[in-house]
Amino acid sequence: MSVIDKAIAAITPPESEEARVEARAKAEAAATPGDWLSLILDHHRQIERAFDAVEAAAAPAERIAAQKALGVILTGHAVAEEAAIYPAMAEEHQVGHAELAYQEQSAAKMELGLLERLDPMSQDYLDKLGHIRGAVTHHIYSEEGTWFLQLKQEASADEQSMISQRYKEEFSRYMGSDAV
């Protein structure tokens, strides 16, 4: 395990699956159809399915294709959050949370790039994939369970609609206009 793997492993989910389910249910209850939070919850579910597909792949070409698809949705989602959501968190008294969010996403991007260099059917690959998934899962839990609920409560209605617009713009700039 590299030093970076250890750093990522160290932040791997301390929370239980039950706590994650509860956090998502709360976030779903706070979201309204078409707003930034509902879009993000949808994209978080897509990310989870993309990880499942990488894990389930039975042959190298299938795994590489699934990993590319995971990279695309993770990057499109991260770019949109970094442009639209984290600055709004910083504006609404969550500077520390916003800084941590950027750091965690940078680490995930770097690790995903390193994953590409490993034999896709090796144990090292599965270990690194597991660490990345753990870190992303914890990041999502922080967003859904705390950071985004707070932003939803504190931002004004005008700010919320601006955030929704920004998130959609940035996501579709990367993913294509049919994506949102």
Angle, vertex CA 104, rays to CA 132 and CA 147, nearest 5? 115
What residues contact 111, with CB distance under 8 A and at least 6 apart? 4, 5, 8, 128, 131, 132, 135
- Of 50, 14, 26, which Cα lies nearest the Cα of 134? 14
Within residues 121-150, the interface with Fe ion by CB under 5 A covers 143
| Whole-number Å distance between alpha carbons of 45 and 100 | 22
Q: Note the residue count of the chain.
A: 180
Kindly write out the interface string for residues 22-51 of this chain, putting x where it contacts Fe ion by CB under 5 A and - elsewhere.
------------------------------
Which residue type, as a one-letter code, is found at position 105?
A: Q
| Whole-number Å distance between alpha carbons of 48 and 133 | 9
Nearer to Fe ion, 37 or 54 (CB): 37
Nearer to Fe ion, 63 or 138 (CB): 138
Kindly write out the interface string for residues 84-123 of this chain, putting x where it contacts Fe ion by CB under 5 A and - elsewhere.
----------------------------------------
- Smallest gap from Cβ 85 to Fe ion, in A, equals 8
- Smallest gap from Cβ 109 to Fe ion, in A, equals 13
- Smallest gap from Cβ 73 to Fe ion, in A, equals 11
- Smallest gap from Cβ 58 to Fe ion, in A, equals 29
The residues that touch Fe ion, with contacts defined as CB under 5 A, are 143
